[in-house]
A and B are shown apart, each in its own frame.
Chain A
Amino acid sequence: MASVTAPSAEISGATPAPLVRADAPRPTRKRFSHRSRRDYLVFLAFATPNLVLIALFTYRPLLSNIYYSTLNWTLGSPVATPVGLGNYREFFTSPDTQGVLVTTAVFTVATVGGSMGLGLLVALALNKRVRGVGFARAAVFSPFVLSGVGVGLVWLFIFDPVIGVLSYVLRLAGSSSPEWFNNPTLTLVMVIVVYIWKNVGYCAVIYLAGLQSINQDLIEAAAIDGANSRRTFFSIVLPLLSPTTFFLLVTTMLNSLQAFDLLRIMNPLGRGTNTLIYEAYLQAFGGANRAGYSATISTVLFVLLVLLTVFQLSILERKVHYR
C-alpha cells in the first residue's frame, strides 16, 4: 500500500511511542514444528469469519457488478439478456451522462474546496488557548457524526421557501427566498451548502492537528525576520500544512464522490443533484429497475475512484512538502 502520512488528529493527549514493535521478526524455526501448525490453525480460527465476510460482501460485489454490467436485466426478473458492452456504449453516448458527469464534478469540486477552505479558516480560529475552545472544537466536529437523513431534514425545514427561517431572515433583509426546489441549479447549491456544513468540522479538526504540529520556533523566527502574519501564513504555515492538505484532498474527495444520504433525503428525484452514485441508485431502485445499467455506472464509478486514488498518490505526493 502506498503511504499517506496521516496527521495525528487527536484533540488532546498524545499516544505513547512504541517501545518495541510487537511484530518484530522473531528467530525463525527450521522445521515446520507442531507449534507453527497450531499457530496456523489459530490464525484461521481467528481471522476466517471476517475474511469470509469481506470476500462475500466487499469483493464479490465488485465482480458481480462487472458481470451484471454486461446484461440487459430488469431487477427482480428471472431473465437477463447478455449485451456485451452495450450498457457501456449507452452510458458513454447517452445525452443524460454529460449532465450527470457535470453535476458530479461541480458537487465534488465545490464540496471538497468548500470544506477544506472553510475547514482551514475554522482551524485557524480554533487554534487558540482560550476558555471554551474545547467545547467549540467538539461542536464544530459534531455534524460529521450525525445522520445524513436527520441533517437533511433539519435543513429542508430551514430552506423551506415559505415557512423556513432562512426565507424569514431574507425577508427581513428585504429580499425574497430563492426557489430552492424549483430550480435545479439552486437545489444543487443548497445540497452543497448542507454537505459542507456537515463535513467542515472533519477538515477543521485535521487541519487543527496539522497546525499544532508546526514548530513554533519557525513562526517566531519569521516574526524576528520581520515577516508579517500574512507572509508567515503563506510562506511558512501553508507549505508546512501541505501533507495535511494532501491527506484531506484524498479523503474528502473520496467521501464527496460517495455522498448519498443528503442527496436522497433532500432531493429524492435527483433533479439537479444527480451525481454518478445517485444515478446508479436511481437506475436500480428508482423505479426503472435497470440492474444491468446501474451496475455499469457503479463499475465506471469504481474505476474512476481507483484511478483518482492512484493518480493522487503518485502525482500529487511528489509535490507535497514533507517536514
Chain B
Amino acid sequence: MTAVAERPPVTPRRDRPLSRRNLVATITTGYLPIVLATLVVVLPLLWMVLASFKSTGELLTQTPSVLPDSFAPTNYAEAARRVPFGRLFLNSVIVTVIGASVKVVLAVFTAYALVFVRFPGKKVIFALVLATLMVPPQVQVLPNYVFISDLGGRDTYWGIILPGLATGFGTFLLRQQFMTLPASILEAAEIDGASHWKRLTRIVVPISTPAIATVALVNIVFEWNEYLWPLVIISDPDMMTLPVGLTLLFNSENGADAYGVLMAGTVMIIVPVLVVFAAFQRYIVSGLTQGAVKD
C-alpha cells in the first residue's frame, strides 16, 4: 500500500471525459448490460402478446415471423369459446377484490391493536403472527382442503377466499409502520378523549395511507396469481379463477396448435398485473422486499 501512495497524482488518460476509451467503456459497461437485462425480461413478454394475435398457420411454422398478419382478436374469441373466459376473469376479480380488501382491513385492525392497545402478552401474540410467514402454504393445503370440503366450501367463492384471509405479512408490515408514528399525536388525541376507533380512523389510517396502499397492492397481486389453493378446491369450470381455468384449457388442448389461444389466455392473466405494477411500482417493490424479520 505504501509503495502505491508514492505515485504521482496524474489523472489516467481514460478518466478524461469524452475520450474515445471512456465513450466505449460507457457503452459496453454502462448501457449494454442494462439493455441486455431489460431485453431478456421484455422480449418473452412481447413474444407472448404477439403470439396471442397469430393464427394457427402462423404459429405452426419452423420459421416464425415477428409480427402477426393481423391484430384481430380471433384467439381471444376462440379462448372464450373453449372455456368461459369472461366468467374466469370475473371470478378472479371477485376473489382478488374481496380477498385483498378483507386482508387489508384485518391487518390494519390487528396491527393497531398490537401497537396502540394495552393487552398482556402482546409480544407473544406478535411472534405467533410473525411465525406464520415461515409456514409454507403448501403444507397447509391438504388439511385445509379436508376442512373446507367438510364445511361444504368446494366450488364456492368463500371456499376459495376464506383460508387465505389470515394475514401475517400485512400485520407485520403495518405494525412496523405504526411504530414509527409520533406518539405525541396519539397521546394528545387520547387526552382529548378520542376513542381507539376515532384514533384509528381519524389519525392512524390517514397518515399511514402509503403503507396501507403497499399492503393492499401486494395482496392484490398475490390473490390474483394464487394457484395451488384454487386448483385443489375448485373443479367446476364456472367457479375457476384465471390460472386454474388456463390450466384446464392447457390440459384440454394438448397440441401445439393451441398456443395462440393459450397465449391469449396468458395475456389476460399477466397484463392486468403488469399494468398495476407499472402504475404503483414503488409501493409494490418496497412491499415485496420488506419481508425481513426485524425486531
Query: What is the interface of chain A, defined by CB distance below 8 A to chain B?
Result: 1-13, 15-16, 18-24, 36, 39-40, 42-44, 46-47, 49-51, 53-54, 56-62, 64-65, 68, 75, 121-122, 125-126, 128, 130, 132-133, 135-136, 138-151, 153-155, 157-158, 160, 162-163, 165, 167-168, 171, 197, 201-202, 204-206, 209, 224-226, 247, 251, 254, 257-258, 260-261, 264-265, 268, 277, 280-281, 284-285, 291, 294-295, 298-299, 301-302, 305-306, 309
Does B188 belong to the interface (CB within 8 Å)?
no
Interface residues of B, CB < 8 Å — how many?
114
Distance from A143 Cβ to chain B, minimum over Cβ atoms (Å): 6
CA separation between A138 and B163, bound complex, in Å?
Answer: 32
A111 to B113, CA, bound (A): 39
Query: Any chain A CB within 8 A of the CB of B234?
Result: no
Smallest CB separation, B91 vs chain A (Å) = 14
Given contacts A139-B42, A157-B48, A298-B139, are A150 and B179 in contact (CB under 8 A)?
no
Q: Are B138 and A141 in contact (CB under 8 A)?
A: no
* A150 and B106 within 8 A (CB): no
Alpha-carbon gap, A20 to B181, bound state (A): 7
Interface SS, A side: helix
| B250 interface contact, C-beta 8 A | yes
> Which of A130, A136, A154, A168 meets B63, CB within 8 Å?
A168
Write out the residue numbers on chain A whose beta carbons fall within 8 Å of the beta carbon of B265.
Answer: 153
Bound Cα distance from A19 to B288, whole angstroms: 25
Is the Cβ of A264 less than 8 Å from the Cβ of B227? yes
**Contact across chains for A285 and B232 when beta carbons are under 8 A apart:** yes
Q: Is the CB of B269 within 8 A of A277?
A: no
Q: Is the CB of A126 within 8 A of B143?
A: no
Tell whether, in the assembled complex, residue A36 and residue B41 are in contact, meaning their CB atoms are under 8 Å apart. Answer: no
* Minimal beta-carbon separation of A202 from chain B (angstroms): 7
A147 engages B243 (CB within 8 Å): yes
Complex formed: what's the CA distance from A305 to B266 in Å? 32
Answer yes or no: B70 CB below 8 A from chain A CBs: no
Are A261 and B33 in contact, with the CB atoms below 8 A?
no
Docked-complex contact B227 and A149, CB < 8 angstroms: yes
The reply to whether B288 and A22 contact each other, CB–CB distance below 8 Å, is: no
Smallest CB gap from B263: residue in A:
A157
Pick the contact of B285 from A11, A171, A251, A280 — CB < 8 Å?
A11
Would you give the shortest CB distance from B108 to chain A, in whole angstroms?
9
Within 8 A of A (CB), among B258-288: 259, 262-263, 265-266, 269-270, 273-274, 277-278, 281-282, 284-286, 288
Interface centre among B243, B265, B289, B290 (most CB of A within 10 A): B289
Question: Which residue of chain A has the shortest Cβ distance to B114 in the bound complex?
Answer: A47
Q: Say yes or no for B128: interface residue by CB 8 A criterion.
A: yes
Complex contact B294–A13 (CB within 8 A):
no
Q: Looking at the assembled complex, report how far the CB atom of A62 sits from the nearest CB atom of chain B, in whole angstroms.
A: 7
The segment from B16-24, B79-87, B115-123 that touches chain A is: B115-123
Question: Contact between A145 and B221 (Cβ–Cβ < 8 Å)?
Answer: yes
Contact status A163-B112, CB under 8 Å:
no
Residues of A within 8 A of B282 (CB): 10-13
Closest Cβ–Cβ distance, residue A151 to chain B (whole Å) = 8
Give the residue name and chain of the A residue nearest to B218 (CB): A145
Partner among A10, A16, A54, A75 whose Cβ is within 8 Å of the Cβ of B286: A10
Q: Which residues of B contact A46 (CB under 8 A)?
A: 109-110, 112-113, 117, 196
A2 touching B288 by the CB < 8 A rule?
no
Q: A10-B286, A139-B42 are in contact. Are A49 and B106 (CB under 8 A)?
A: yes
Do the beta carbons of B140 and A57 come within 8 Å of each other? Answer: yes
On whether A125 and B33 interact (CB within 8 A), knowing A62-B135, A146-B274, A153-B263, the answer reads yes
**Residue B10, interface by CB 8 Å:** no
Q: Which residues of B contact A209 (CB under 8 A)?
A: 289
Bound together, the chains give a CA A62 to CA B171 distance in angstroms of 21
